[in-house]
Structure 1
């Protein structure tokens, strides 16, 4: 599996009620062994998570199910990360 850095920036119209749904989504991925790290930025502007997936298409398909994405409250980018 490859690693993908998922970078989320909050938009001004973010719905705070979506945050617990997003966290539950990440917890489910973590239970499946698909999240290595996740967390918010200290300035509350957004956050990131390190996702494991077979390829970029699979990573993007996973991110598209994230409530942060489906709610439209965050700008989200996905990058394959060649970290060691």
Structure 2
């Protein structure tokens, strides 16, 4: 199942410091098949990581272990997300 992790920047200075580790963390999880997609919001206030996990617990654990979160640079909210099979025929 897919899980959306909304990462909101709460400390811009810590965010700059943790950014390289945050990007490496997301890249490593992508190579392991645990991250489906990731990227920043254009307004510069944070970003989104879409995890591909077996459970709520796994997604929450991975999101909370992100260096941007553990450093206190960002807060995170994790929500399960179900994709639609598009196109939808009505």
| Structure-1-length-normalised TM-score | 0.92
Cα deviation for residue 29 of structure 1 reads 0.4
Residues 4-34 of structure 1, C-alpha deviations (whole Å, 9 max, x = no match):
0000110145411101110000000010011
Instruction: Please state whether the residue corresponding to 1:43 is helix, strand or coil.
Output: coil
Instruction: Please state whether the residue corresponding to 2:42 is helix, strand or coil.
Output: coil
Q: Which residue of 2 aligns with 1:56?
A: 56
Structure ID, larger Rg: 2
Report the count of equivalent residues.
Answer: 83
Residues 16-55 of structure 1, C-alpha deviations (whole Å, 9 max, x = no match):
1101110000000010011111000111100001101111
RMSD between superposed Cα atoms in Å: 1.1
Structure with more helix by fraction: 2
Cα deviation for residue 67 of structure 1 reads 0.3
Task: Give the unaligned 5+ runs of structure 1.
Answer: none
Are 2:64 and 2:76, in contact at CA under 8 Å, matched by a contact in 1?
A: no
Alignment CA distance shift 1:79-1:14 (3 Å)? farther
Instruction: Please state whether the residue corresponding to 2:68 is helix, strand or coil.
Output: helix
More displaced, 60-69 or 24-33? 60-69
Task: Give the unaligned 5+ runs of structure 2.
Answer: 85-90
